[in-house]
Chains A and B, each alone.
Chain A
Amino acid sequence: MAAILEIEGLEKKFQNFRLDHISFSMEEGCIMGFIGPNGSGKTTTMKLIMHLLKKDAGSIKVFGLDNLEREKEIKNRIGFVYDENCFYEDLTLLEMRRVVAPFYSAWNEEAFQGYLARFSLPKNKKIKELSRGMKMEYSLAIALSHNAQLLLMDEPTSGLDPLVRQEMLELLMEIVQDEHKGVFLSTHITSDLEKIADYITFIDNGSIVFSRAKDEVLENFGLVKGPLVLLDADTRRLFVGLREGRFGFEGLVADKYRVARTFGDKIVIDRPTLDDIMIYFSGRESNAQSVS
């Protein structure tokens, strides 16, 4: 399958933050979850892809095309959903559609009306009168009504109730049934990604920690529990992060099979959640210091 999004050596420097030479790519026909703590660089990366921010170095290719040289063509094929409403609050849903629709060459009014009906959105209500969930659904309806091949979503599920979230996740899975489409989705709610994502890209403090298939991540990483006596200078190196208590330790390992061979049946290995992985990676320096 062809790459729908390729990022290579991307850099962006701010006064207090730096996106540090990040690289990853995503194939069509899949959902990639983009995870990381607050301020790790998720929104910056999204904004760089959409050319809302200007990169300092590196390249961004969408559909194999440079995102600056072919900006208009690329944006015509991207659907975007941001964490905050970016539509005019005083316009009604239909008025806003009248503004946005003519920009897209492949606007599909039938699809748009279908989404409005599916989400039970009131056409003649002002956008400011919608609930947060409805605003998000409206953003989705707009994003999905011009035959977008790549859906970029920045924290779309934050602040939504479980029913709306579930509805959105089901819709995303429907979208990638078309193998030429893809969804790039950043979120704090990693349980959502465990349900739907094919790939996980984890960013921390402006650097990519890993970008791998979700099943591979969840299959290889392990949450290990055992007695403190097992920990020495050599075995500590096996862990991404460690928490030590009075009676034992709990730690995350990137290769649970190797750890199982090392410790045998003296430890218990559980399957970690993406939250566990994010927490251990993000806190690994402080843990390492407390361990030493």
Chain B
Amino acid sequence: MLSLFLKDFLILKRTILFAAIYPVILIVGFQNSGDVVFVINLVAITYILLISVCAYDEKNKADVLLNSLPISRNKVVLARYVSLYLFAVLAVFYYCVLVALLGLTNLGVRISPMTGQSLLIGVVLVSVMYGIYLPLFFKFGYIKTRIVGIALFFVVFFGLGSLAQMITKVGQTADGSGNSFLQSLALMVNGLSSTQTVLCIVAVLFILVFLSFRMSLKIYRGKEF
């Protein structure tokens, strides 16, 4: 399976170079935006790399090659999910290196370093977006899901932000008398310790990504090339 990751990084050589410039612009351009800079960086870099590797695979009819090699379809699908998180790790690592390097200079750039909260939000967004996108990609291919990818990028990005704000707002004003789902959720979230909250989020994400993976697997196993 390592060969599949190697393949992804080899075909992304040029894209990675482009993706390397993007965070620099982001950090310098959005100096007063706090945690958002890190989150946007993580989601955008992962988006660029994942979408590009899907596009390259489709352009080169990679499924014919991969399914002619001695490798199971399960591994092809698993590799795509693992690659997604490798791209995320790369984005985080690169951001931290950039922040460290800019911190050493005297350019006066106000940097927003990575925080635990921004990392968690970034991982949530990446998991939700691509948890939805990847089964669609395996079903319909890159060309047909191109719009979906872009739409998800915006919907999830702004939609989840709004949802979080809504929960927080409802949580702040909730007097306990309401019994709406959002109020219950807000009260529940507010009642948890930060460790419990993180564990809950990670558990939900794990289930979501696992379901997405199972769905992709089912689709890909039944596919013909």
Contacts and interface: CB of A to CB of B under 8 A. Distances in A.
| Range class of the B interface residue count | 20 to 34
A54 B224 contact: yes
Contacts of B6: 98-99
A24 interface: no
Contacts of A17: none
Interface in B176-225: 222, 224-225
Given A47-B225, A90-B56, A95-B10, A103 B69 contact: yes
Interface string A8-50: 0000000000000000000000000000000000000001001
A98 B10 contact: yes
Given A84-B61, A86-B61, A72 B70 contact: yes
Interface in A76-101: 76, 78, 80, 82, 84, 86-91, 95, 98-101
B56 A52 contact: no
A186 to B, nearest CB: 15
A219 interface: no
A54 B11 contact: no
A91 B69 contact: no
Interface in B52-67: 56, 59-62, 64-65, 67
Nearest to A98: B6
Contact of A73 (B3, B69, B70): B70
A73 B69 CA distance: 10
Interface of A: 47, 50-54, 71-73, 75-76, 78, 80, 82, 84, 86-91, 95, 98-105
Given A52-B64, A86-B61, A87-B65, 13 more contacts: A54-B222, A71-B72, A72-B71, A76-B70, A88-B10, A88-B56, A88-B60, A95-B10, A99-B10, A102-B2, A102-B3, A103-B70, A103-B71
Interface of B: 2-3, 6-7, 10-11, 56, 59-62, 64-65, 67-72, 222, 224-225
Closest 5 pairs (CB-CB, A-B): A76-B70, A75-B70, A86-B65, A52-B225, A99-B7
